[in-house]
């Protein structure tokens, strides 16, 4: 089963990371899911693939009443992001899914109906969670062509999807980045290959550098906090992406 770690809390406003299932088969990529709660409501960010649904559901339900989940935020369309959608909807058919307009007719192949999806325009949108405003921030082509991060300016947390992701070896899979230089080696290959556009990357770096961020939370790997957030932005800005040796 996955474990939950509360990474931010102010009253009933919480960010909970759902991470690291020791029983997960190795052939499935490891993913981080994040639960944001405010008031009596919750939103689940990148709920994960169908195969990890039992582990995510059980971990989440140990922290929060899953029937109070108002929505899912899907950063993009990949199977490790939201192929569990049908199962979440089976539990709560009223749940909504925020996703780029680009994928609104693709993701229903995983589940959901026309009523399920709330499409996000390219420029992003505000998402209200019981009065808390979360901002869907454009991160197109990083790596998906219709891609969003989610920013909570109160908690100063940016859910960055695949940006900042690292494929960590066993034994070095702590929840937070402890040594940036060591950690970033596990992120480099991923970013060079998965991120397709230097121009998109530059725009993203410019945008997020202006935001007040305490924690940058990727969907794979460890969370950057404090000075490591800016360190990551600088590193990413200088990295040449969209490279494959073949």
Structure tokens at 134: 């979360």
Can residue 173 be called a binding residue for another protein (CB under 8 A)?
no
C-beta of 58 vs 197, nearer to another protein: 58
Choose, by CB under 8 A, the member of 66, 112, 138, 146 that binds another protein.
Answer: 66
* 1 touches another protein (CB under 8 A): yes
Q: Which two tokens stand for residue 5?
A: 């770690």
87 binds another protein (CB under 8 A): yes
Stretches 48-56, 129-137, 196-204, 213-221: which one binds another protein (CB under 8 A)? 48-56
Residue 113 burial (CB < 10 Å; 0-12/13-18/19+)?
exposed
Rounded Cα–Cα distance for residues 25 and 79 (Å): 16
Closer residue to another protein in complex, CB, 44/157: 44
What 62-66 contacts at long range (C-beta under 8 Å, 24+ apart), as own/partner pairs, is 62/4, 63/4, 63/6, 63/16, 63/35, 64/16, 64/35, 64/37, 66/91, 66/92
From candidates 3, 24, 39, 58, binder to another protein by CB under 8 A: 58
Region for residue 51 given its phi and psi (left: phi exceeds 0; alpha: psi -120 to 50; beta: otherwise): alpha
State which residue, 79 or 196, has the beta carbon closest to another protein. Answer: 79
Least distance between another protein and beta carbon 150 (Å) = 25
Residues 148/124, Cβ–Cβ less than 8 Å: yes
Choice from 40, 90, 178, 199 touching another protein (CB under 8 A): 90
Residue 66 vs 218, nearer CB to another protein:
66
Q: Quote the tokens at residue 246.
A: 């073949």
Work out which of 61, 105, 179, 240 binds another protein, going by CB under 8 A. Answer: 61
Interface with another protein, residue 91, by CB under 8 A: yes
CB of 55 to another protein, least distance (A): 7
CB atoms within 10 A of CB 27: 6
Instruction: Catalog residues that contact another protein under the rule CB under 8 A.
Output: 1, 50-51, 53-55, 57-58, 61-62, 65-67, 86-87, 90-91
């Amino acid at each position: 089963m996955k474990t939950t770690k509360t990474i931010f809390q102010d009253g009933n406003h919480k960010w909970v990371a759902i991470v690291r299932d020791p029983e997960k088969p190795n052939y499935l990529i490891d993913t981080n899911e994040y639960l944001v709660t405010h008031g009596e409501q919750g939103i689940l960010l990148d709920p994960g693939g169908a195969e990890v649904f039992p582990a995510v559901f059980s971990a989440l339900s140990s922290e929060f009443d899953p029937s109070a989940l108002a929505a899912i935020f899907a950063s993009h369309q990949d199977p490790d992001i939201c192929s569990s959608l049908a199962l979440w909807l089976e539990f709560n058919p009223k749940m909504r899914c925020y996703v780029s307009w680009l994928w609104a007719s693709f993701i229903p192949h995983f589940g959901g109906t026309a009523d399920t999806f709330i499409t996000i325009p390219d420029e992003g949108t505000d998402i209200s969670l019981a009065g808390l405003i979360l901002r869907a921030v454009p991160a197109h082509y990083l790596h998906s062509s219709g891609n969003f991060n989610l920013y909570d300016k109160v908690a100063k947390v940016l859910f960055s999807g695949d940006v900042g992701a690292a494929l960590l070896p066993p034994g070095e899979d702590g929840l937070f980045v402890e040594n940036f230089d060591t950690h970033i080696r596990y992120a480099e290959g991923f970013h060079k290959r998965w991120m397709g556009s230097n121009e998109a990357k530059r725009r993203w770096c410019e945008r997020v550098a202006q935001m007040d961020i305490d924690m940058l939370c990727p969907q794979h790997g460890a969370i950057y906090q404090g000075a490591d957030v800016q360190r990551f932005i600088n590193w990413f800005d200088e990295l040449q992406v969209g490279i494959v040796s073949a």
